[in-house]
Amino acid sequence: MPNQAVRLDRVFRALADPTRRAVLAQLNAGPAPLTVLARPFRMALPSFAQHMDLLEHCGLVRSHKRGRVRTYTLSPKPLAAAEAWLADQRKLWERRLDQLDAYVTALKKDTTP
Amino acid sequence: MPNQAVRLDRVFRALADPTRRAVLAQLNAGPAPLTVLARPFRMALPSFAQHMDLLEHCGLVRSHKRGRVRTYTLSPKPLAAAEAWLADQRKLWERRLDQLDAYVTALKKDTTP
């Protein structure tokens, strides 16, 4: 399986969870420490940290530790790959609809006296 | 969790697999029976059918059976929701970069003699 496919698998899997999507949305406002990011969620910190590990593993966030504080930054490049895949599908679908439309128009023309 | 979040969970989970993404891409060319869709993949038909069940469950494909042949059709609306979520994130990120840019420009202006 080519690397691009593996990357898309990981990114889409990362996005298939409301907590992780909410964290990514939150990080659009700027870098934030783990404890601040965890605050809106009703979950134990180790469980929340697992979500952050998964996001970091697939390259959607980066982190650095200063003393006891780990701070996370959004790294949105993999999201662009996912968005591009979806845009490609939409274009293929729209092209097919256009072809169908042209076919129906031609059919009408042929059958109209 | 609101319905929209559940739908996004399902769609992103469905997309986190190369077989399912390839099938969706294939269905852009038009409806196709299960056996034709399964042909490019090295997998037993029951395993492949499970992928199709998952795609149907999250509304990305529809199917109908005529005699012994089950035919699948793409139903791309849930993809639009996923694409919209990603586009929103990109806009938020770009807005933040614009704000940072404006901040740095102002800083430069203030500190230039």
So what's the pLDDT on residue A104? Answer: 87
Q: Does A57 touch chain B (CB under 8 A)?
A: no
- Chain B CB within 8 Å of residue A15 CB: yes
Residue with tokens 């109209």: A112
CB A75 within 8 A of CB A61: yes
Residue-level pLDDT at B99: 86
Cβ neighbours for B7, distance < 8 A, ≥ 6 positions apart? B58, B59, B78, B81
The two three-digit tokens of residue A35, written as one number: 């404890």
Q: What average pLDDT values come out for chain B (113 residues) when binned by 10 residues?
A: 82 96 94 96 95 96 96 94 94 87 86 77
Rounded Cα distance, A35 and A22, in Å: 15
pLDDT for position B6: 87
* pLDDT score, position A4: 83
In whole angstroms, how large is the CA radius of gyration of chain B? 22
pLDDT at A2: 56
* Res B2: pLDDT: 55
B67: three-class secondary structure by DSSP:
coil
- Give DSSP secondary structure letters for chain A: --HHHHHHHHHHHHHSSHHHHHHHHHHTT--EEHHHHHTTS-S-HHHHHHHHHHHHHTTSEEEEEETTEEEEEE--HHHHHHHHHHHHHHHHHHHHHHHHHHHHHHHHHHH--
B61 contacts in A (CB within 8 Å)?
none
- Those residues of chain A that have pLDDT short of 50 are none
Q: How many CB atoms lie within 10 A of CB B86?
A: 22
**CB-CB neighbours of B51 under 10 Å:** 19
CB contact under 8 A, B18 and A1: yes
Q: Do B93 and A74 touch (CB under 8 A)?
A: yes
Its pTM stands at 0.88
Question: Tell me, what's the ipTM?
Answer: 0.86
Residue of A nearest to B27 (CA): A93
B38 with B45: CB under 8 angstroms? yes
